[in-house]
Amino acid sequence: MAEQDVTMEKIVNLAKTRGFVFPGSDIYGGLANSWDYGPLGVELKNNIKQTWWKMFVQERLDMVGIDAALIMNPKVWEASGHVATFSDPLVECKKCHERFRTDHLVTPGTDLAKTPCPSCKATDWSEPASFNLMMKTWLGPKEDATAVAYFRPETAQAMFVDFPNVITASRKRVPFGMAQIGKAFRNEITPGNFIFRTREFEQMEIEYFVHPSQWEVSFEAWLENMYGFMDRVGIDRSKTHNLEVEKDELAHYSKRTVDIEFDYPFGRKELYGLAYRTDFDLSTHAKHSGENMIYTDPMTNEKYVPHVIEPSFGVDRTLLAVLLSAYHEETVTTGSGEEDTRVVLRFKKEIAPIKIAILPLSKKEELSSIAQPLAERLAKKWRVDYDETQSIGKRYRRQDEIGTPYCVTVDFDTLNDQAVTVRDRDTMEQVRIPLLELESYFAQNL
Ligand code: ATP
């Protein structure tokens, strides 16, 4: 079996035709860089989020979750520094008036003045300026300065702001962490590369509170945990790399940051970030809000502001890395000895959007009267697809392309032997399983 390289074109096409991700507002000509998750995309995304939540909240006694409001008091963003400093450097091409992020155009050591505009190739740039990425809106009927609010640019801040309420309500002791999954908005200057960089996206973030002396141990443990998650959802480790962010490039709140990068077809770029945020956030919010953020250790009575380790995951970048890792194009030899190309998404079973496809060999009543109730029964436990049109070979290929681990064929022999054929996505091997044993077979294998 020979393997081919995956390109973005192949992924974007497959995503659209099979219903993972569509261009947003498609019938109106789309909206630049906005994407909708289709029937399979929403299943895949939910499975990724559920795996994350299970691994980092439900399976741990030192973690709790929250789901905070998306629009917060603007004072939060003044205190956090976002209103003043959450910006990217921007330049405008004086010829075609396209705008770009300066740091995306030039690398250290290259000169902007000599860099051609990616759109029109001119080399006539405006002075670089700072562009704030906060997405603004107005609350209520008055569109003036008193009504200005922001869509959150990250989920993190709510976890700092809710710290006193959570610690009182949950009675957790340091070290413990909070987790949140939700949408974030950034008015990105140059969104692009499919769902890699968009203005509306989803994050899964953790704020882990520790004693100041414990930050290094916790940082290393979380780096390990992040790789554990990537293994669990099937992100190819050979395509990931740790980038230690240089001291002079650290964000104002961070003493150490490691970016986990992924080799996308368009280059090596950030997938996740892990930051040591010191006590910056809790102390800043204490100062601006007047709320006490000091923690008293119940054993030693020591009083301190907890320090924070922040593992931050993008949902959409996870989904893209999962698709890119799962995509395989193989040359296979068919039963009749001919060569054929098979596209298969080798998703981990835990995150595959559809777990089982029920495929009656023909549409005849005698088969569907067995296949239909079987599909309904299995659907109570697993996500099931039911497909009775086209040749069985084409239906297998379609399920391979959407990464379904098992296909179940109900055929005319089923009428006599009360058994079905189960085909494995990866090995393409087929086994005959009695109908009565099917549920326990999947319970064992899924
Ligand atoms: P970048 O350097 O790529 O702009 P960042 O360092 O600003 O990313 P963070 O602020 O650390 O990103 O956000 C945490 C995570 O959220 C990122 O690692 C990424 O997975 C995701 N993310 C950030 N911005 C976007 C975006 N515009 N579209 C999709 N995902 C994003």
Please state the atom number of ligand 1 nearest to the C-alpha of residue 260. 18
Query: Does residue 200's CB lie within 6 angstroms of at least one atom of ligand 1?
Result: no
CA 315 / ligand 1 centre spacing (Å)? 10
Residues 92-107 have a mean pLDDT of 88
Amino acid at 98: E
- pLDDT given for residue 305 in this prediction: 98
Instruction: State the Cα angle at 383 between 25 and 10, rounded to 5°.
Output: 50
The model's pTM = 0.93
Taking the C-alpha atoms of residue 247 and residue 224, their distance in angstroms, rounded to an integer, is 22
384 within 8 A of 354, measured Cβ to Cβ: yes
Specify the residue for token string 């835990």. 350
| Helices 215-233 and 315-326: angle between axes, nearest 10 degrees | 50
Query: Does residue 270's CB lie within 6 angstroms of at least one atom of ligand 1?
Result: yes
Query: Does residue 277's CB lie within 6 angstroms of at least one atom of ligand 1?
Result: no
Residue 17's pLDDT band, with cuts at 50, 70 and 90, is: very high
- pLDDT given for residue 46 in this prediction: 98
Q: How many CB atoms lie within 10 A of CB 219?
A: 22
pLDDT of residue 2 exceeding 50, the answer is: no
Q: Which of 131, 134, 316, 317 to mutate to test the pocket of ligand 1 (most atoms within 8 A of CB)?
A: 317
pLDDT of residue 244 exceeding 70, the answer is: yes
Instruction: State the Cα angle at 306 between 301 and 310, rounded to 5°.
Output: 155
Please provide the DSSP assignment of 158-201 as one string: HHHHTHHHHHHHH---SSEEEEEEEEEE---SS-BTTTTB-SEE
286 within 8 A of 305, measured Cβ to Cβ: yes
Query: Does residue 35's CB lie within 6 angstroms of at least one atom of ligand 1?
Result: no
Residues 6+ apart with CB under 8 A from 365: none
Percent of the chain scoring above 70 in pLDDT: 99
Query: Does residue 317's CB lie within 6 angstroms of at least one atom of ligand 1?
Result: yes
Torsion of CA 94, 100, 101, 103, to 10 degrees: -70
Task: Provide the phi-psi class of 121: left if phi over 0, else alpha when psi is between -120 and 50, else beta.
Answer: left
| Helices 315-326 and 39-53: angle between axes, nearest 10 degrees | 110
CA 264 / ligand 1 centre spacing (Å)? 15
CATH 3.50.50.60 fits 354-445, yes or no: no
Query: Does residue 153's CB lie within 6 angstroms of at least one atom of ligand 1?
Result: no
CA 153 / ligand 1 centre spacing (Å)? 10
pLDDT of residue 1 exceeding 50, the answer is: no
Q: What is the pLDDT of residues 315-359, one digit of tens each?
A: 999 999 999 999 999 988 877 788 889 999 999 999 999 999 999
Look at residues 80, 7, 39, 46 and name the one whose alpha carbon lies nearest to residue 286: 80
201 within 8 A of 183, measured Cβ to Cβ: yes
CA 314 / ligand 1 centre spacing (Å)? 6
Please state the atom number of ligand 1 nearest to the C-alpha of residue 195. 29
- pLDDT given for residue 88 in this prediction: 86
- pLDDT given for residue 334 in this prediction: 76
pLDDT of residue 4 exceeding 70, the answer is: no
Residues 369-386 have a mean pLDDT of 98
Residues 103-112 have a mean pLDDT of 84
Residue 246's pLDDT band, with cuts at 50, 70 and 90, is: very high
DSSP letter for 369, please. H
Closest residue CA from atom 24 of ligand 1: 197
Specify the residue for token string 């650290």. 250
Query: Does residue 188's CB lie within 6 angstroms of at least one atom of ligand 1?
Result: yes
The CATH superfamily assigned to 2-80+146-323 is Bira Bifunctional Protein; Domain 2 (3.30.930.10)
pLDDT of residue 129 exceeding 90, the answer is: no
Closest residue CA from atom 14 of ligand 1: 312
Which whole-number Å values give the CA distances from 267 to 84, 96, 196, in the listed order?
Answer: 31, 26, 11
Which is higher by pLDDT, 433 or 251? 433
- pLDDT given for residue 87 in this prediction: 85
Taking the C-alpha atoms of residue 260 and residue 194, their distance in angstroms, rounded to an integer, is 19
CA 319 / ligand 1 centre spacing (Å)? 14
Report the DSSP pairing between strands 430-434 and 406-410.
Answer: unpaired
Instruction: State the Cα angle at 84 between 81 and 90, rounded to 5°.
Output: 120
Closest residue CA from atom 8 of ligand 1: 270
Amino acid at 308: V
Q: What is the pLDDT of residues 27-43, one digit of tens each?
A: 999 998 999 999 999 99
Q: What is the pLDDT of residues 191-232, one digit of tens each?
A: 999 999 999 999 999 999 999 999 999 999 999 999 999 999
Residue 388's pLDDT band, with cuts at 50, 70 and 90, is: very high
Residues 140-169 have a mean pLDDT of 95
Tokens at residue 278, please? Answer: 């010191």
Which is higher by pLDDT, 119 or 228? 228
Average pLDDT, the chain: 95
Closest residue CA from atom 23 of ligand 1: 314
Closest residue CA from atom 18 of ligand 1: 272
Query: Does residue 197's CB lie within 6 angstroms of at least one atom of ligand 1?
Result: yes
Taking the C-alpha atoms of residue 48 and residue 315, their distance in angstroms, rounded to an integer, is 8
- pLDDT given for residue 347 in this prediction: 98
